[in-house]
Amino acid sequence: MALIAAAITASCLPTGKRKCVADRDNTIPQYNSVQSGGVKMIPVMGGKYKVWTKKVGNGKIKVLLLHGGPGLTHEYFECMESFFPQAGIEFYYYDQLGSKYSDHPTDTALWSVERFTDEVEEVRKGLGLDSFYLLGHSWGGMLTMEYAVKYPDHLKGVIISNMTASIPDYVVYINKLRDKQPADEVAAMKKYEAANKSDDPEYQKLVKKLYNQYICRLAEWPEPLTRSFDNINSQVYNTMQGNNEFVVTGKFKNWDAWDKIPHIKCPALVVASVYDEMDPKELEKMSQIIPHGKLLYCQGSHMSMWDDQQNYMEGVINFLKNTEAGK
């Protein structure tokens, strides 16, 4: 090791402005600044906080990803790396404020639909995305709808993945799904919820059973998906949603965008899934109400990018390419 270090030192010792040019491979990119592998921290809220982003690939089609939760992370989107770059699509991971790789303020006043929507615009500016697509999944789909109405100028298209236009509608549907479970299990879950004991191991065991039916139906959840769930910011989730998926008591409990989505003017793909916790019939209706809406119907669950991966990815990529081609 000492000999290797000496050889490197000898070949790269600075002499005036001489650079280390021995055996240079001219195919290796040359930069005038330190590179971070696509990672960029974006200042938000006037520079008070920073959020984490990462660029993957290079291409004319540029997509910003909005993860769900609220409070999850970009990590469950990592499957996109096996599809988007190969299709010539440049995409951007982004952990929203409070999520794993971004700053973690504890002021619950920050956790609102309006502020998160404005944050997306700050991230767009920070990344220099002047003409781009937005893909929002679940809670990220809510932000996508809000953003498309409030900040339409730079959007080429949106993908609203597995998100209904109404939280009250969502609550009705997901409880219908739960009521299909054995009566004793439903009663046990409601008992824990009434006692505000949603962290009880027995309750979590029953939730996991439902998640295996309606969140991801794979026998073994992929590591990036479990990692994202392990890294959830519970304060963000509990403030916005509540303590569980079935009784929404958080800030967005009355959120409804049925009157807003007809004002989404760019092309929009709505992704619905047959086993989702979101009513696929409602998502089909959304695709009909949005002026330039289209529907992608998957055979998976809420995480169809994992449990109906081929259909999901092909549908999303075809939408992006067709929109780019003006079809």
Report the 10 Å Cβ neighbour count for 204: 14
Yes or no: say if 304 and 269 are a contact pair by the CB < 8 Å rule.
no
276 carries an active-site annotation: yes
Nearest to 232 by CA among 72, 51, 69, 67: 72
Active site residue 138: yes
Q: Which residue has the tokens 């086993």?
A: 275
State the DSSP H helix or E strand holding residue 312, giving kind and residue range, or none if neither. helix 309-324
Q: Give me the amino acid identity at 102.
A: S
Q: What interhelical angle do 201-214 and 167-178 show, nearest 10?
A: 100
In the block, tokens 């049925």 appear at 258
Options 67, 74, 137, 302, the catalytic residue: 302
Q: Which of 137, 198, 276, 287 is catalytic?
A: 276
Sort 213 into a burial class: Cβ within 10 Å, 0-12 / 13-18 / 19+.
middle
Contact (CB, 8 A) for 311 and 298: yes
* Catalytic residue (choose from 99, 102, 138, 198): 138
* Helical axes 139-150 vs 113-127, angle rounded to 10°: 70
- For the chain, the farthest-separated pair of C-alpha atoms sits apart, in whole angstroms, at 80
- Show the DSSP H helices in 62-138 as ranges: 113-127
Q: Could you tell me which residues are beta bridge partners of residue 43?
A: 50
Specify whether the CB–CB gap between 49 and 43 falls below 8 A.
yes
Residues taking part in catalysis: 138, 276, 302
